[in-house]
Amino acid sequence: MILSVVGARPNFVKMAPVVREISRRKLPHMLVHTGQHYSPEMSDVFFRDLDLQKPDMNLGAGSGSHASQTAEIMKAFEPVCAQAEPRIVIVAGDVNSTAACAWTAAKMQVPVAHIESGLRSFDRAMPEEINRVITDHLSSLLFATEPSARKNLLREGVDAAKIFDSGNTMIDSLIRGLEKALTRRAWERYGFREKSYALLTLHRPENVDRPSTLLELNRAVCQIASRIPVVFPIHPRTLQRIEVLGAEWSGVTLTEPLGYLDFLSLTAGSAFVMTDSGGLQEETSALAVPCITLRKNTERPVTLTQGTNRLCAVHEKKIIEQAFRILEEPRPVPTAIPLWDGGAAERIVSILEKFLAEGDSFGRA
């Protein structure tokens, strides 16, 4: 049996195409939700929008410090894994659920497959970077979304026979959902015209947890909003910080977190995006929407070289300059990033099937 793990918002988007493909091939399968994200708008709506089957089990881990959240997930996952006796555990991305379940499975000698393997920001101050490194080094099958990932893994001594250039399952979800998303015209709900508003998301601890940084972002965004309206769906972590900060967001429309299709609609219809999200750098690149990533680094360099992404660390003047420059520039021309073609899940599940069929002889041609 194959056991797939999801836990937090980006996992649902990355795993949905894989779970659907496993079920299309009628392979024995179990879907476990760790419960890292639990609010309906952070979890349930994604299952609906992505046609993702209901989880067979929810571990109910919930929020907490890194150590306690990771520990809760591991404690709850171990007996589930012991009882289900999976032949392989699939994890995706870089959240605490990913590393916790990979670690648990590896210690029980269950092979782990990691979707979105090999990305590196080279910044260990990001909890996600630690999760990526741990998960990759515990995995038997490593599915890479972009060329930098393979290079990073080889440099770290990972056996080349375990690495597969699969493409990007997040883009599988985007390609599948785009038509439906566009018919929603989510921008009209906020009174905007298509391509005449900017979209903002913020949730990284380094941007929202320190009041002085959040205030600097607030000032930059309000300046930008004096030229173009900005819509800001707010992550629960950020909402807590914004309430404490008490700053005005003039010209900015604040909304609750949105479901997958509404958010995709809002992204595709925007003039540009400002974000500190990982996935959104890829989604905007696939959609040819300009993106300012409010970070010093990215683990997704292909979005800089072949996509529409540009980095801008938190600096009031520089953010405003970048945004105003985008407004003067012609719209980017869409370019295809290799293997971001809607076929990643199919490629991944074919390799999983081969792995399960060949057992120990897998990869020893």
Applying CB under 6 A, which residues contact ligand UD1?
Answer: 8-10, 36-39, 42, 63, 94-96, 127-128, 203, 235-237
Smallest distance from ligand UD1 to CB 209, Å: 10
Cβ proximity to ligand UD1: between 9 and 295 the closer is 9
| Lateral strand order in the sheet of 88-92 | 57-58, 29-33, 2-6, 88-92, 112-117, 141-144, 163-165
Smallest distance from ligand UD1 to CB 72, Å: 11
Handedness of CA 231, 125, 243, 68 (dihedral sign): positive
Report d(CA 49, CA 185) in Å as an integer: 15
| Catalytic annotation, pick one of 29, 37, 114, 203 | 203
Output the CA–CA distances (angstroms, integers) from residue 286 to 97, 122, 292, in the order listed: 26, 24, 15
Smallest distance from ligand UD1 to CB 276, Å: 9
Element (H, E) at 98: helix 96-107
Structure-block tokens of residue 231: 């819509």
| Partners of residue 200 on adjacent β-strands | 274
Comparing CA positions, the residue from 90, 268, 237, 276 lying closest to residue 174 is: 268
Smallest distance from ligand UD1 to CB 361, Å: 36
**Whether the Cβ atoms of residue 166 and residue 351 lie closer than 8 Å to each other:** yes
**Whether the Cβ atoms of residue 91 and residue 102 lie closer than 8 Å to each other:** yes
**Whether the Cβ atoms of residue 225 and residue 147 lie closer than 8 Å to each other:** no
Report d(CA 169, CA 15) in Å as an integer: 7
Smallest distance from ligand UD1 to CB 169, Å: 16
Smallest distance from ligand UD1 to CB 256, Å: 11
Cβ proximity to ligand UD1: between 42 and 252 the closer is 42
Is 203 noted as a catalytic residue in this protein? yes
Element (H, E) at 68: helix 66-84
Helices marked H in 161-250: 169-184, 205-208, 211-225, 236-245
What number of other Cβ atoms are within 10 A of residue 248's Cβ?
8
Residue 28 Ramachandran class (φ > 0 left, ψ -120 to 50 alpha, else beta): beta
Comparing CA positions, the residue from 232, 252, 228 lying closest to residue 326 is: 228
Smallest distance from ligand UD1 to CB 179, Å: 25
Query: Active-site positions?
Result: 203
